[in-house]
């Protein structure tokens, strides 16, 4: 079945630092790819998505590009803020038609002032 | 923006008791899901529900678990006899047509603590 591997955390950065969180996937076909974010004490929110190869998803300064050649969907942000502190999950739909999501392990990001 | 609503936000229950976790998905969505997240671990799929029946379930979703959509708006997860290891955050999610491309909407979760 489809699977996703996400870099182990946690990641600790200073404000305005550059962020990369790695995500690679194994999939049948070319499913959409997602990044979800979980702020402290809250649920999962869709951060960004890409639906086909070479698509770039972006939102709130975060970007990720769907790379078919390297089966990757790395999350990047040029200048992180304290408010970006959260857990980030890479995800993709499963192989069945009912679309359950398979999540990566999650990466805890802490940004210090 | 439409939301998925989950109640209660936190539930404490004694081992062996039954619990029902409630969700109100987005009204025109077709696909409904329950996931759980044990503290500090990854988000795990439990069950998907489509067209008034279970469409897929994981090995975690054993006979102690059941789901219902009793009235066309609520979507519930019942755990018949809770165990300590059922303590987790439970998330409901829903998706409309094209959700595999557009993404799914999650609720804020119910934190279940079994004592």
Residues on chain A touching B103 (C-beta within 8 angstroms)? 32, 34, 46, 49
pLDDT of residue B72: 79
Number of helical H runs and strand E runs in chain B: 1, 11
Measured in residues, chain B has a length of 115
- Interval B75-90: pLDDT, tens: 999 999 999 999 999 9
Rounded CA gap, B71 and B107, in Å?
19
CA distance B28 to chain A (A): 16
Residues on chain B touching A104 (C-beta within 8 angstroms)? 42
Confidence band for B51, pLDDT divided at 50, 70 and 90: confident
The answer on pLDDT for A97 being more than 70 is: no
- Interval A13-64: pLDDT, tens: 999 999 999 999 998 888 899 999 999 888 899 999 999 999 999 999 999 9
Q: How far apart are the first and last CA of chain B?
A: 36
pLDDT of residue A108: 94
A89 close contact with B: CB closer than 8 A: yes
Q: What is the DSSP letter of B56?
A: E
Taking any CB pair shorter than 8 Å as contact, residues of chain B touching chain A are 6, 31, 33, 35, 42-45, 48, 50, 55-56, 91, 93, 95, 99-109
The answer on pLDDT for A96 being more than 70 is: no
pLDDT of residue B55: 92
How many C-beta neighbours within 10 Å does residue B46 have? 20
Rounded CA gap, B56 and A101, in Å?
12
Rounded CA gap, A47 and A39, in Å?
11
Q: What are phi and psi of B21, to 5 degrees?
A: -100, 135
- Interval B5-31: pLDDT, tens: 999 999 999 999 999 999 999 998 989
The SS3 of residue B54 is strand
Q: What is the DSSP letter of B23?
A: E
The answer on pLDDT for B44 being more than 80 is: yes
pLDDT of residue B39: 85
Residues on chain A touching B31 (C-beta within 8 angstroms)? 98-99
Residues A34/A11, Cβ–Cβ less than 8 Å: no
C-alpha dihedral sign at B26, A100, B43, B58: positive
Task: Specify the higher pLDDT residue, B52 or A77.
Answer: A77
The answer on pLDDT for A111 being more than 90 is: yes
Contact B45 A36 (CB under 8 A): no
The answer on pLDDT for A98 being more than 70 is: no
Kind plus residue range of the DSSP H or E element containing B101: helix B99-102
DSSP string covering A42-110, please? --EEEEEEE-STT-EEEETTEEEE-BTTTTB--EEESS--GGG-EEEEEEEE-SSTT--EEE---EEEE
A43 close contact with B: CB closer than 8 A: yes
Q: What are phi and psi of B28, to 5 degrees?
A: -100, 15
pLDDT of residue B21: 98
Q: Would you call B91 exposed, middle or buried from its count of C-beta atoms within 10 A (0-12, 13-18, 19+)?
A: buried
Residues on chain B touching A89 (C-beta within 8 angstroms)? 42-43
pLDDT of residue B16: 97
Q: What is the rounded average pLDDT for all residues in chain B?
A: 93
């Amino acid at each position: 079945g489809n699977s996703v591997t996400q870099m182990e955390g946690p990641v600790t950065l200073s404000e305005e630092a550059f962020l990369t969180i790695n995500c690679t996937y194994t999939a049948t076909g070319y499913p959409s790819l997602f990044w979800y974010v979980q702020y402290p004490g809250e649920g999962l929110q869709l951060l960004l998505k890409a639906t086909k190869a070479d698509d770039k998803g972006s939102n709130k300064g975060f970007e990720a590009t769907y790379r078919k050649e390297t089966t990757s969907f790395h999350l990047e942000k040029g200048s992180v803020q304290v408010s970006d502190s959260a857990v980030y999950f890479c995800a993709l739909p499963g192989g069945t038609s009912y679309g359950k999501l398979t999540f990566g392990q999650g990466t805890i990001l802490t940004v210090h002032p | 923006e439409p939301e998925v609503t989950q109640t209660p936000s936190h539930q404490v229950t004694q081992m062996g008791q039954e619990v029902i976790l409630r969700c109100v998905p987005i009204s025109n969505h077709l696909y409904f899901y329950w996931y759980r997240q044990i503290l500090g671990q990854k988000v795990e799929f439990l069950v998907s529900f489509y067209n008034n029946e279970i469409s897929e379930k994981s090995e975690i979703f054993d006979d102690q678990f059941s789901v219902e959509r009793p009235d066309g708006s609520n979507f519930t997860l019942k755990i018949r006899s809770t165990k300590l290891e059922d303590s987790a955050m439970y998330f409901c999610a829903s998706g409309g047509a094209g959700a595999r491309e557009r993404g799914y909407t999650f609720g804020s979760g119910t934190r279940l603590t079994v004592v």
